[in-house]
Amino acid sequence: MPCLRRFLYPFILALSFVFCTDAVAAKQVSFQIIVNKIVTQGSDTIDHYLPKNGLATADFISDLYFDVFEASGMEIAIGLTDPQHKSELESLFSKVIGLAANGQPKPQVDRAWQELTQALQATAKAQSDQHRGGFWPLFIQAFIILLREGFEAMLVITALTTYLCRQGAPHKVGVIYQGVGWALAASILTAILLNQVISLAGERQEALEGITMLVAALVLFYVSTWLLAKVEPSRWKAWIDGQVTTALSKGSLFTLGFAAFLAVYREGAETVLFYQALIASSDEPFWVAALGFGAASLALVGLFWIMRRLSYQVPLTIFFSVTAALLYYLAISFAGTGVLELQEAKWVSITPLSGVPRITWLGLYPTMESLAAQCLLLLPIPFVIWRWKQSQNTLHKAKTLA
């Protein structure tokens, strides 16, 4: 089982680093106290909002996000249990900031502020209804964090490794595992830098996350369209026979390894910080969280092995179609969420759109900028479909003549 060992070793290495680094100065934060502070300070500003002074209001709400919501630990505490809800709250903050910065009428800003405060109050109430503490709650939470954050990356890694094996280059699979290993090391180093060395927080941290997501979106988009172009088995066989050795010795192999790196690194540093915060906020010994982490690692390896085995039984056309669709979906989701992070970092403007739903798992947020980024990735689809139909027609004519 050499492939499984190469896949497992980085997780074991990560486990040793995660629990050897100093925990962040986290504690069980009271959401209600934090929310009361946000609502009290923000409501006073919103009450005195004037469109001509919208930029000042936007800056104040942005400061509330970074200096209270994030700095208090509430943001990371929500991310421990429900990352999608965290993204939803981030989007609601961005909506208020965007409307104010663009000098929109006061009723619109008031409605957006009410929507945000109601969501924050509901979050605080939900926390007060929860009961934490004990062996099993900590173990289960530690298990779910890695399983949740790692599953998406595992899907990408499974697709890439299976792709290499099915096209006759199993000896090249090592580059995918190297990408995973480098990503884990980079994630741990980034977490240490964020936490202890340079205290990279607030806008700079959001910018780093946004850039990583957008780069990952571009790489996954490239890989997905490249695979989609070879859905037809005869085209795939012809490509293998003529170009596989040259292509995999150059840019394509690097691209696949880089895709694996980004798939893991995208959430890696945040996952390390999640574990540090989880341990620091619990009265249980850290080895309980370590057990949960280890169990989740084994579960991911088991799922990886099962999915690899099953993927060999899927016809090539279906395998490449599903793989390309999966990577394409992730690219679309990363693009929308990456722009959201850059908007929070004030690198990208915020133009809220009414009537657009907020779907966090799809990376869909009601702003012109995030939708524009996703639309850019959707534009080539008609061309790809046209090329595919053209190739189908050519193959059909060739078979008819034969």
Q: Tell me, what's the pLDDT at 401?
A: 60
CA dist 95 and 110 (Å) reads: 11
Q: Tell me, what's the pLDDT at 203?
A: 77
> What would the two tokens of residue 11 be?
């997780």
Beta bridge partners of 359: 364
pLDDT at position 145 over 60: yes
Beta bridge partners of 367: 352
Average pLDDT, whole number, for the chain? Answer: 80
Q: Tell me, what's the pLDDT at 24?
A: 43
Band of residue 351 on the pLDDT scale cut at 50, 70, 90: very high
Q: Tell me, what's the pLDDT at 240?
A: 47
> What would the two tokens of residue 342 be?
């850059």
The model's pLDDT over 263-300, given as tens digits with 9 standing for 90+, comes to 888 778 778 877 877 776 677 777 888 899 989 989 98
pLDDT at position 394 over 70: no
CA dist 184 and 216 (Å) reads: 16
- Nearest of 182, 204, 181 to residue 193 by alpha carbon: 204
Least confident of 114-118, 178-182, 195-199, 351-355: 195-199
H/E stretch holding 9 reads: helix 2-18
Q: Tell me, what's the pLDDT at 128?
A: 66
Asked whether the beta carbons of 282 and 236 are under 8 A apart, the reply is no
CB burial readout 300-310, b (16+ within 10 A) else e: bbebbeebbee
